[in-house]
Amino acid sequence: MRQLWEEHIVYTRNFIISSLGDLGDTGKVAERLLRNQDDIGNAIKPIYGEEAGGKLALLLRDHILIAADLVKAAKTGDNDGVAKSRTRWYANADDIAAFLSGANPNWKKADLTEMLYKHLDYTTTEVVSRLKKDWAADINAYDLGHAHMLMFSDALTDGIVKQFPKKFI
């Protein structure tokens, strides 16, 4: 699980850099990032079932597609587009938290929501800092966001182990 969330944060970072820098690999990075969301969904299928894995992957793919809209709007100076994307992004985080907390009683919705919002905040700071060419703030936001995502992954893993301890003996 940790490896998959590590990939989530790394490929999100790569997408931000490629997209804002108009690099030729943006499409390929986006494809890889979207595939990671499917990988995360697939990882929970043995525990929560095919339908749950598909639902999580769909929610996470939406998370990435909304992020791409936000990056595009920020890059073009479309403040209204940024605001609309942020609203959709936080609503999607609410949906992810509701879904996960419904699957596992060890994952409290309020805690998940707070962790997901923090992830969005760090990612937004990366985008804004990069656009301003404030490289120190950009790197700091990435470092904080990276550590945060690993903590999020560990919280999910701990919840699964608590819910299904016999599967991990």
Q: Which residues are within 8 A (CB) of 113 and not within 5 positions of it... i.e. 6 or more apart? A: 93, 94, 97
What share of the chain has pLDDT > 70, as a percent? 100
- DSSP letter assigned to residue 22: T
| 2-20 and 135-163 helices, crossing angle to 10° | 150
How far apart, in whole angstroms, are the C-alpha atoms of residue 71 and residue 69?
6
pLDDT, mean over the chain? 98
Q: Quote the Cα angle for 48-51-152, to 5°.
A: 50
Residue 162, number of CB atoms within 10 A of its CB: 13
Whether the predicted pLDDT of 51 surpasses 90: yes
Task: Look at the chain and count its residues.
Answer: 169
pLDDT at 71: 98
What share of the chain has pLDDT > 90, as a percent? 98
pLDDT at 37: 99
Q: What is the pTM of this model?
A: 0.96
pLDDT at 142: 99
Q: What CA–CA distances, in Å, run from 35 to 10, 29, 42, 44, 67?
A: 13, 10, 10, 15, 15
pLDDT at 121: 98
Q: How confident is the model at residue 168 (pLDDT cuts 50, 70, 90)?
A: confident
Task: Give the pLDDT mean for 47-63.
Answer: 98
Whether the predicted pLDDT of 169 surpasses 80: no
Whether the predicted pLDDT of 44 surpasses 80: yes
Q: Using only C-alpha atoms, what is the Rg of the chain?
A: 16
Which of 134, 120, 127, 136 has its CA nearest to residue 21? 127
